[in-house]
Amino acid sequence: MNIVVNGEQVNCDDDLTVSKLLIEQKVKMPEMVSVEINGKILKRTEFEQTLLKDDDKVEFLYFMGGGRWA
Amino acid sequence: MGLNEQQIERYSRQIILEEVGGTGQEKLLCSKVLIVGAGGLGAPAGLYLAAAGVGTIGIVDSDKVDLSNLQRQIIHHTGDVGTEKVDSAKAKIQAINPDVTVQTYQSRLTAENISEIIRQYDFVIDGTDNFASKFLINDACYFEKKAFSHAGILRFDGQLITVLPGETTCYRCIFRSPPPAGVVPSCSEAGVLGVLAGVIGLLQATEAMKYLLGIGELLTNTLLVYNALEMEFYKAKLDRNPDCPLCGSSPTITELKDEQQPVCDLKED
Ligand SMILES: [Zn+2]
């Protein structure tokens, strides 16, 4: 199936979960990424069981703040 | 109030715009924008909003100008090194446009003082460089129902979103809470391309002007992500999150608190 990850077409297996996609896409520090599918923010606890569907639009969103803590 | 001849000439290029006109210009002159952080993002935003004739600009910063700031914080000049950033910024704004009243707050925003300050403004620009402040601004603007622009920059990347609290996606809808200390690199550790601060800071200023004038489409429910190397602007559409701890259906954050620095529980590798 085909999905769109951050605007780019990605061809992937049919039984792909969000957790697996994070690994496949080599996302550094997946604990720090917010994931959104078709406009909806996913709970972190849903990464394991959420299966991606054909044509899903997935966004990986990263913290960007200058990064100093305080 | 009416514009005098000098003002009509000074602002002629934007008065000529149908969407602005004399009425819009008068609106800007009566408007108040708070810029939190007179740094990379706040510097270009402050200069352009001043030039555009935003009547009152508030600037919050507790730091002094450092030599390493000058590569991107263009409101500060070489001779300002060692002086207070708020004083340096105020001087430049007044030199550009004497129509502008500048309020300075030489302090850090905290849960104690932030609400009182932002209450006096129409729009807030988050130009801070740290997560504690970004979450505090998001929360305070929510409780005060104050529109604001959030932005962050790092290396060659930048991102921003405009938030109309209670109506559109907020920062906590996307990121529930700050990352543990040390996990996300800072500009001082990872660097930042100077012009990036200008690009993103001016997009924030653009949102402020659109909001004040009531024109165009605001960057709401959308995170704009910019990469300078690929020269790519990307819009991630984001619905409000019903599980948002702040603006969701059963919020857990019901009053303003300073974020405590979370302990870093991630494996080092
Ligand atoms: Zn929210």
Instruction: Write the CA distances from B127 to B98, B111, B204, B253, B263, integer angstroms.
Output: 23, 17, 9, 23, 25
Quick count: other Cβ atoms within 10 Å of Cβ A17?
15
Prediction ipTM score: 0.85
Give dist(CA B97, CA B233) in Å, integer: 32
Distance from CA of B23 to the nearest CA of A (A): 36
Identify the pLDDT of residue B183: 79
- For B179, which of A36, A40, A63 is closest by C-beta distance? A63
| Distance between start and end Cα atoms, chain A | 44
Whether the per-residue pLDDT at A68 is higher than 60: the answer is no
State both tokens at B52.
């555009």
Q: A2-62, superfamily in CATH?
A: Beta-grasp domain (3.10.20.30)
What is the arithmetic mean of pLDDT over A36-52? 94
Helix (H) or strand (E) segment spanning residue B152: strand B147-154
State both tokens at A4.
């769109």
Identify the pLDDT of residue B265: 44
Identify the pLDDT of residue B1: 67
pLDDT block averages, 10 residues each, chain B of length 269? 94 98 98 97 98 98 97 97 98 98 97 98 96 96 98 94 98 92 79 94 98 98 95 94 97 91 45
Give dist(CA B106, CA B109) in Å, integer: 9
Distance from CA of A45 to the nearest CA of B (A): 13
Identify the pLDDT of residue B261: 61
Q: Which residues contact A15 (CB under 8 A, 6 or more apart)?
A: A51
Instruction: Write the CA distances from B253 to B79, B82, B142, B248, B257, integer angstroms.
Output: 44, 39, 11, 10, 9
Could you give the percent of chain A with pLDDT greater than 70? 93
Question: Within a 13 Å sphere around the CA of B146, how many CA atoms are in the beta-carbon half?
Answer: 27
Q: What are phi and psi of B240, to 5 degrees?
A: -60, 145
CB of A39 less than 8 A from some CB of B: yes
Catalogue all structural domains in chain B, each as residue range(s) with its CATH number. Answer: 21-237 (3.40.50.720)
Ion ligand 1: residues, CB within 5 A, are: B 170, 172-173, 244, 246-247
**Which of B62, B130, B227 best tests the A interface by mutation, with the highest count of A CBs <10 A?**
B130
Identify the pLDDT of residue B64: 97
Identify the pLDDT of residue A59: 93
Residue showing tokens 């105020």: B90
